[in-house]
Amino acid sequence: MNIPPVEFDLALQRDGFALTAAGVVPTGVTAVFGRSGCGKTTLLRCLAGFESGCTGQIRHGDVVWQSARVRQPAHRRQVGMVFQDARLFAHLSVRQNLGYAYKRRRGRGPDWHEVVAALGVEGLLDRWPAALSGGEAQRVALARALLTGPALLLLDEPLAALDYGRRREILPLIAGIPERFSIPVVYVTHSRYEVLELADRVMLMERGNIQAAGSVSEVFSNPDHWSLLGNMAPTVIWDAQVVARDNDWGLTILATDAGRLRLGGLDVRPGQSLRLRLTARDVVLVPGQPAVSSLLNTLSVQVDEINDYPRGVVHVRLRAGSGAVLWAEITRQAAAGLRLANGRRLYALIRPQVLRINH
Amino acid sequence: MSLSAVWISLQLASVTVLVLLVIGTPLAWWLANSRSRWRVPVDALVALPLVLPSTVLGFYMLILLGPAGPIGRFWVAATGETLTFSFTGLVITSVLYSLPFVVQPIRDAFAAVGRGPMEAAASLGARPIDAFFSIACPQSARGFLTAAVLGFAHTLGEFGAVLMVGGSIPGETRVVAIAIYEHVEMLEYGAAHTLSAGLLLFSFVVLVAVYTVNRARHPVLLR
Amino acid sequence: MLPLRSGLRAFALAVLLILTTGVSHADPVRVAVAANFLSPVEAIASAFEAAGGEPVEIVSGATGQHYAQIINGAPFDVFLAADQARPARLLEKGLAIEGSVFTYAQGRLVLWAGEGHQLPDNGFAGLVDHPVTRLAIANPRLAPYGRAARDALQATGQWQALQPRVVEGLSVGRALHYLATGNVSHALVAASYTYASGRPGGAWVAVDPSWHEPIRQDAVRLVNAPNPAGARAFMTFLKSAEAQSILQGFGYRAAGEVTEP
């Protein structure tokens, strides 16, 4: 199914704050990440049509939501929105809240029963919003937004007020929306874990501007963005494909740019894709290929760059396989023992972490 | 005579509240949501009857509504009737006089609803007028109740302006407050007591009812 | 703590001193007067003071209100009522001094036509056949001028026909206000208004006093007067030829001219 992207090029001027943002929201989950006050919520509100001072263009495929001459009001844009505080209507029951959206749906939208089942709100239908927990309220809010038949789903930190357990329940529900209902999702957050676990693409915002946009692995693996991402230690994100299962040992064989990797403890099928994270501390460098080790994966790597770091620490950039990059954090003493120099070939024992599995 | 005064008062209060709900609701909405520089002056204008002696209002209404006044002249030309000393003139005067008692509770209720639910409704495809009736009004129900009751009770108790504009015509403009005043002046304290105690009891019961309903789930509206 | 308390005591003492000196200082004569009679009384009071009398403090208001205040102990010396009923009742209650009651003025009624309206050719009696949109009178149940106006209309057989167009003002002043603002075409009001400096425009004609009970305004000295001597002096002056000529200048019939109905 062909889902048209949402393209925008927007500006907003307010006391002491200016937003200038252009980009494309393709299908999948696009995270908008930044510190509070960077303008990410304002961007979302511009897309939804809530900011009257917002100028510029928004197009959804061939449909113009906003341009120099046109300005569709919020209720005419095919946009579903979920707010941080859910904003369920207190004078309506859960069923009536959902019905409110269903009665006003624009175009063809997902089936009532499908949405209710997907978000697990059957048991809540006859409750009142005041009697819902935070997680329940957000699930109802998500269901309500989906029932309007949106062409774009905007989520404004929907999990910010929830505890860890509730987040773990709801994150997979959100991750499944683009594929299940064919709706692109824009997800505003200041939590990089939510980006890593949920998003396909990410826009990094700072002071009203989009500083970087691209796939999560591109953006997170780029050292230029580590400070914006919250003083992150050297990290790379790899996309991996399940190519085989070794049922004798219960291992999964993954194909990555760095080569083949073997991981245990995964419940996946061949063809599925995974997102892996490899931080510099999960990389061990050795001069020769070890005969055996407790870490299953050994990569042949070449030193690309050596950065001295304060307090006796060295960050080493390495290349593996077909140009994949990884980082190792080692002590200066170890660096001397390994006779580190650009171009030197070594072996890296790695322990990648599975961030998410795409179904 | 007294019974007809009670009947006229009840009619006047009912019609006044109806008119005020119709014109006061959009005004309250505008006051709660507008960012216009006219909002503050209009807010103050609405509150004026709270601080002005009712005779001031009556004095100006007599001039405005009189057959030579700007409104009265138009009315005479259109209907052949004069506005002063008529039930219609009383309604106009009472509408102005009770305006803050109806507009302010509704305005505060609308402000308490805030923009959040209205934005949520818009994102669910509700056009503004739809969201107004389906979200803002039901969520402001207590404000409307307070407004209606206060407007009704206040119109019932109004005296100065109504006496000035109405001219105390029995069966037409002599309301219960004027009847009470006349009984007192004529030293008919028994009749004055009956009407006064009735009015006092009625107002008390109504206010207790409103406070009770408001206390029940929404303590913000009436303090 | 202590300095503060002694400071407070000094302040309280000072306030007390000011209050007591304020009360004991040169007893004025306090006169409660019907609002429509304010201007003549002011003129009479200055004449009284010029003739060596004590200073006069005038409290103007509705006669009914003054009556209620006197019953509740208001410190007036003299009560100039707008009617005869209230002083009589004070006498009954023992709050007014026996024998002090006298009619200080007699009101007269005029028919006033507002600007742009005509008076009937044959005067008051022709009102019923005249184009009258609305006729303002004072409340006949409350105000002596209102009762006189109704009596006069009944005596001339015009009440029945005119009643639907009659508008009652709370007081005779309010009735004239209706005329001044153009809300009525005609009004039956006190003749004293024709002498007032801020009177509205239009034309007026006197109403024959024989068509209504005389509008007698009675004065009385009060039993609880703080200044009985001053009250007596003021009352004596009120009966003097000088005061009576001032009254005529304001459109009142002097007390001596007795009208036989």
CATH number for position C58: 3.40.190.10
Please report the pLDDT score of residue A273 as a whole number: 84
Beta strand spans in chain A (E): 6-14, 17-25, 29-33, 55-60, 63-66, 79-82, 152-156, 185-189, 201-206, 209-215, 235-246, 251-256, 259-264, 273-279, 283-286, 297-309, 313-320, 324-331, 345-350, 353-358
Q: How far is CA C153 from CA A268, C143, C163, C166, in A?
A: 108, 16, 9, 11
Please report the pLDDT score of residue C2 as a whole number: 44
B129 → chain A, closest CA residue: A75
Q: Is A302 within a domain? A: yes
Q: Which of residues 60-79 of A touch B (CB under 8 A)?
A: 73-75, 79
Q: Is C7 within a domain? A: no
- Residue to mutate among A75, A77, A81, with most B CBs inside 10 A, is A75
- For chain C, what is the domain count? 2
Q: What is the mean pLDDT of chain B?
A: 86
What is the number of alpha carbons within 13 Å of residue C215 lying toward its C-beta? 31
Where is the domain boundary, C171, C187, C206? C206
Q: Is the pLDDT of residue A29 over 80?
A: yes
Where is the domain boundary, A231, A263, A285? A231
CATH number for position A319: 2.40.50.100
Which chain C residues contact residue B76 at CB under 8 A? none
Is the same domain home to A215 and A312? no
Which chain B residues contact residue A104 at CB under 8 A? 124-126, 130
Question: Which whole number is the average pLDDT over A185-203?
Answer: 89
Please report the pLDDT score of residue A241 as a whole number: 84
Is the same domain home to C117 and C89? no
Please report the pLDDT score of residue C1 as a whole number: 41
Is the same domain home to A70 and A183? yes
Give the pLDDT band of residue B45 (cuts 50, 70, 90).
very high
Is the same domain home to C58 and C94? yes
pLDDT digits (tens, 9 = 90+) for A196-222: 888 889 999 989 888 888 888 888 888
Least Cα separation, residue C115 to chain B (angstroms): 11
Where is the domain boundary, A182, A208, A231? A231
pLDDT in tens, chain C (261 residues): 444 455 666 666 555 555 554 444 457 899 999 877 888 899 999 999 999 889 999 998 878 888 888 988 888 999 999 889 899 999 999 999 998 999 988 888 999 999 999 999 988 999 989 999 999 999 888 888 999 999 999 999 999 999 989 998 888 888 998 999 889 999 999 888 888 777 888 999 999 999 999 889 999 999 999 999 999 999 999 999 999 889 888 888 765 544 433
Is the same domain home to C201 and C113? yes
Domain annotation for chain B: domains and CATH numbers: 2-54+83-114+141-217 (1.10.3720.10)
Q: Is C1 within a domain? A: no
Give the pLDDT band of residue B216 (cuts 50, 70, 90).
low
B163 touches chain C (CB under 8 A): yes
Pick from A85, A144, A154: which is nearest to B124 by CB? A144
Q: What percent of chain C has pLDDT over 70?
A: 87
B67/C133 touch (CB, cutoff 8 Å), yes or no: yes
Is the same domain home to A156 and A296? no
Range of the domain at A301: 272-358
Q: How far apart are CA C187 and CA C202, in angstroms?
A: 11
- For chain A, what is the domain count? 2
Q: Is the pLDDT of residue B186 over 80?
A: no
Is the same domain home to C170 and C241? no
Q: Is A304 within a domain? A: yes
Is the same domain home to C52 and C178? no
Pick from B120, B126, B128: which is nearest to A87 by CB? B120
Q: Is A154 within a domain? A: yes
Is the same domain home to C183 and C235? no
The strand pairing partners of A81, in sequence order, are A154
A49 touches chain B (CB under 8 A): yes
Is the same domain home to C113 and C161? yes
Q: Is the pTM for the entire model greater than 0.80? A: no
Give the pLDDT band of residue B1 (cuts 50, 70, 90).
very low
Q: Is C138 within a domain? A: yes
What is the number of alpha carbons within 13 Å of residue C147 lying toward its C-beta? 14
Q: Is A248 within a domain? A: no
A155 → chain B, closest CA residue: B123
Question: Which whole number is the average pLDDT over A349-356?
Answer: 81
Least Cα separation, residue B174 to chain C (angstroms): 10
Q: ipTM > 0.90?
A: no
Q: How far apart are CA A85 and CA C139, in angstroms?
A: 64
Question: Which whole number is the average pLDDT over B199-204?
Answer: 83
Q: Is C136 within a domain? A: yes
C168/B186 touch (CB, cutoff 8 Å), yes or no: no
- Chains in touch with B (3+ beta-carbon pairs under 8 Å) read A, C
Is the same domain home to C122 and C45? no
Q: Is C36 within a domain? A: yes
Is the same domain home to C82 and C126? no
B117/A87 touch (CB, cutoff 8 Å), yes or no: yes
Is the same domain home to A282 and A213? no
Q: Is C231 within a domain? A: yes
Q: How far apart are CA C167 and CA B107, in angstroms?
A: 38
B116/A87 touch (CB, cutoff 8 Å), yes or no: yes
Is the same domain home to A162 and A72? yes
Please report the pLDDT score of residue B222 as a whole number: 33
Is the same domain home to C90 and C115? no
Q: Is C130 within a domain? A: yes
Is the same domain home to C79 and C124? no
Q: Is A260 within a domain? A: no
Pick from B119, B125, B128: which is nearest to A104 by CB? B125
CATH number for position A117: 3.40.50.300
Q: Is A262 within a domain? A: no
Range of the domain at C74: 27-106+216-249
Please report the pLDDT score of residue C237 as a whole number: 94
B186 touches chain C (CB under 8 A): yes
C178 → chain B, closest CA residue: B62
Sign of torsion, CA A159 A161 A164 A170? negative
Please report the pLDDT score of residue C26 as a whole number: 59
Q: Is the pLDDT of residue A173 over 80?
A: yes
Q: Is A223 within a domain? A: yes
C65 → chain B, closest CA residue: B185
Please report the pLDDT score of residue A98 as a whole number: 94
Residue B220: phi and psi, rounded to 5, are -80, -35
B125 touches chain A (CB under 8 A): yes
Is the same domain home to C178 and C189? yes
